[in-house]
Amino acid sequence: MKPSKRIKNIAALIIAALVSKSASAADMADALRNDGKIWVVVAVVTIILLGLFIFLFTIDRKVSSVEKQLNQDKKQ
């Protein structure tokens, strides 16, 4: 089998898998929406993203202060 034909077959399988997954994901989202549990999912995702953003912000501040200290040490 030629490599290009093999790549086309693999791409077709991946696309088919994604299409079938999206249909089942939509059913799950509808079930969560009907039960009212979608807000729990939204809250959890929001909390996780806020935690990540706060973590990245603090890391950025620490790295900036270390860079300033290094620049001051190089000047002296």
9 vs 60, higher pLDDT: 60
In which residue are the tokens 């002296």 written?
Answer: 76
Q: What is the pLDDT of residue 30?
A: 79
Q: What is the pLDDT of residue 57?
A: 93
Q: What is the pLDDT of residue 68?
A: 92
Instruction: Give the three-state DSSP class for 14.
Output: helix
- In order, the DSSP letters of 20-65 are HHHHHHHHHHHHHHHHTTHHHHHHHHHHHHHHHHHHHHHHHHHHHH
Note the pLDDT tens digit of each residue in 1-41: 556 777 778 887 788 777 766 556 667 777 877 888 888 88
Average pLDDT of the residues in 52-74: 93
Q: What is the pLDDT of residue 23?
A: 55
Task: Please give the Cα distance from 72 to 62 (Å, whole number).
Answer: 15
